[in-house]
């Protein structure tokens, strides 16, 4: 069963007891509060779709100490299905990863009719939701506990973009984007595995590495597992990229590059590849990368091309001694980069000349 990534709450007689347009006071049962807190701890996002006066409803959420738990809320007089659809679109989540809880059978039926992939729950199920398998991730990692804050930053970013006068490229230049690259630790493995499993558009091979696989690579002296973290002036984007590197004498073999689809417009994939190419040049190593074309990762292929990679098949053994180091009949198309760039320090500013997908600057450190 697919995991729920976002639970959307109705308010009146669902999240709280009472109807704010009729009652002078509403309350939240302790078991509902505990469910909200526990789902948040697990990294399951929560939002609100409610037919109410926005300011009055939000004031009650703040009074009850719950406002901070909800991202991209929709409080107004729209159909519930429209509100649920808007929240899913804001988050960029597939409909089958969205859940909706409401006390009214008619509201649940309306959402089911227009959004049949969305899972609907009765209000009396609220306290038991954390016990259901679709709300129980296999592991809770450090980023899971920070997921809400990441999307809060996304909300602030989107709000500023809405009022910014200028092009998307101009807006990116104002973000002060900073990309940090470091070796993965045990605490990172949950997020790293998640990236290999859930990222399809920006996954170079589509290969999934399990927790056990990753622990084996961390322990291997010939492998590097690198994690990329991105932040800007609005806050952190979290861990948004991984690189799995196999180091041979004179050859670095990039077995996997995967980045979050949330940051595709920033051109992170190309910047990571350029950074790695310069590190390989400093080490006087050829850089070879695995790439397996799928029906979804065309954008990643473009990132490789922008970074200077070309088809491995275009090089003979005499021209590319690294061919023998990574030779394998595994059906994976390998791309090869001729390392001609000048060595750069580990900390550098990369002026992102990344074509139409991203124009701006990333500070890599």
CATH number at residue 20: 3.40.50.1000
Q: Please tell me whether residues 127 and 179 are part of one structural domain.
A: no
pLDDT at position 108 is: 98
User: pLDDT for 37-81, tens place per residue?
Assistant: 999 999 999 999 999 999 999 999 999 999 999 999 999 999 999
Query: Where does 42-199 have alpha helices with state H?
Result: 54-63, 80-91, 105-114, 142-163, 168-173, 189-198
List pLDDT tens digits, range 186-216: 878 777 777 766 655 566 777 777 888 888 8
In the sheet with 251-259, reading across from the earlier edge strand, the strands are 310-311, 333-337, 286-291, 251-259, 235-248, 223-232, 177-183, 359-364, 348-353
Q: Which pLDDT band, with edges at 50, 70 and 90, does 353 fall under?
A: very low
Question: Same structural domain for residues 276 and 208?
Answer: yes
Residue 279 lies in a domain: yes
- Both 223 and 89 in a single domain? no
Domain carrying residue 305: 166-364
| Distance (Å, whole) CA 299 – CA 203 | 9
Tell me how far apart the alpha carbons of residues 55 and 72 are, in angstroms, rounded to a whole number: 15
pLDDT of residue 339: 42
Residue 147: inside a domain, yes or no?
no
CA distance 359 to 174: 11
Q: Is the dihedral of CA 102, 108, 110, 115 positive or negative?
A: positive
pLDDT of 352 = 34
Note whether 312 and 270 are same-domain residues.
yes
Model confidence pLDDT, tens digit, residues 141-165:
667 777 888 888 888 888 888 899 9
Same domain, 39 and 188: no
Residue 16 has pLDDT above 80, yes or no: yes
Looking at residue 200, its pLDDT comes to 52
| 237-288 residue pLDDT tens | 888 888 989 988 888 888 888 888 777 778 788 888 888 888 888 888 888 8
State whether residue 191 is helix, strand or coil.
helix
Assess whether 91 and 171 both reside in one domain: no
Separation CA 97–CA 280 (nearest Å): 40
pLDDT recorded at residue 202: 62
Average pLDDT over residues 21-37: 94
Out of 135, 153, 175, a domain closes at 135
Are 66 and 170 part of one and the same domain?
no
Say how far apart CA 2 and CA 55 lie, in whole Å: 35
- 215 and 170 in one domain? yes
d(CA 225, CA 193): 11
Tokens 């275009």, residue?
314
Q: Give this prediction's pTM.
A: 0.66
Q: Are residues 242 and 99 in the same domain?
A: no
Query: Is residue 154, in this structure, part of any structural domain at all?
Result: no
Quote the number of domains for the chain.
2
Give residue 350's pLDDT.
Answer: 32
Burial group, residue 1, by CB count within 10 angstroms (0-12, 13-18, 19+):
exposed
Convert the pLDDT of each residue in 78-126 to its tens digit: 999 999 999 999 888 889 999 999 999 999 999 999 999 999 999 999 9
Which comes out higher in pLDDT, residue 151 or 133? Answer: 133
Handedness of CA 288, 292, 293, 299 (dihedral sign): negative
Give whichever of 126-135, 260-269, 330-339 has the largest mean pLDDT: 126-135
In a domain, 171, yes or no: yes
Which residues pair with residue 102 across a beta bridge? 122
% of residues, the chain, pLDDT over 70: 81
108 and 192 inside one domain: no
**Chain center to CA of 126:** 27
Which pLDDT belongs to residue 164? 92
Hey, what are 348's tokens?
A: 């550098």
Q: How far apart are CA 151 and CA 156, in angstroms?
A: 9
Contact of 242 with 196, CB cutoff 8 Å: yes
Q: What is the distance between the alpha carbons of residues 7 and 49, in angstroms, rounded to a whole number?
A: 10
Say if 54 falls within a structural domain: yes
* Residue 117 and residue 74 share a domain: yes
């Amino acid at each position: 069963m697919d995991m729920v990534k976002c639970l959307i709450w109705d308010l009146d007689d669902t999240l709280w007891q009472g109807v704010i347009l009729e009652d002078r006071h509403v309350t939240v049962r302790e078991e509902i509060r505990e469910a909200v807190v526990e789902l948040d701890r697990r990294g399951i996002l929560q939002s609100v779709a409610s037919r109410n006066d926005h300011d009055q409803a939000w004031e009650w959420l703040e009074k009850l100490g719950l406002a901070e738990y909800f991202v991209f809320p929709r409080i107004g007089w729209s159909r519930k299905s429209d509100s649920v659809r808007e929240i899913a679109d804001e988050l960029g989540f597939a409909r089958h990863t969205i859940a909706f809880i409401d006390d009214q059978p008619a509201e649940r039926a309306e959402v089911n009719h227009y959004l049949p992939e969305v899972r609907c729950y009765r209000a009396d199920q609220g306290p038991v939701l954390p016990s259901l398998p679709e709300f129980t991730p296999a592991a809770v990692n450090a980023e899971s506990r920070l997921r809400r804050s990441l999307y809060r930053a996304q909300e602030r970013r989107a709000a500023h973009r809405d009022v910014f006068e200028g092009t998307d490229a101009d807006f990116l230049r104002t973000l002060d984007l900073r990309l940090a690259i470091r070796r993965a630790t045990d605490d990172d493995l949950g997020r790293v595995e998640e990236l290999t499993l859930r990222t399809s558009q920006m996954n170079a091979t589509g290969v999934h590495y399990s927790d056990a696989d990753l622990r084996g690579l961390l322990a291997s002296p010939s492998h590097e597992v690198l994690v990329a973290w991105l932040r800007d002036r609005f806050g952190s984007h979290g861990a948004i990229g991984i690189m799995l590197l196999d180091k041979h004498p004179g050859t670095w073999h990039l077995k996997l590059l995967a980045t979050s689809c949330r940051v595709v417009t920033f051109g992170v994939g190309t910047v990571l590849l350029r950074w790695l190419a310069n590190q390989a040049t400093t080490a006087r190593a050829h850089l070879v990368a695995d790439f397996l074309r799928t029906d979804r990762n065309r954008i990643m292929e473009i990132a490789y091309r922008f970074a200077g990679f070309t088809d491995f098949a275009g090089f003979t053994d005499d021209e590319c001694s690294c061919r023998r180091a990574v030779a394998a009949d595994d059906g994976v198309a390998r791309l090869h980069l001729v390392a001609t760039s000048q060595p750069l320090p580990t900390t550098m500013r990369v002026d992102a000349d990344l074509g139409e997908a991203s124009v701006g600057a990333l500070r890599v450190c």
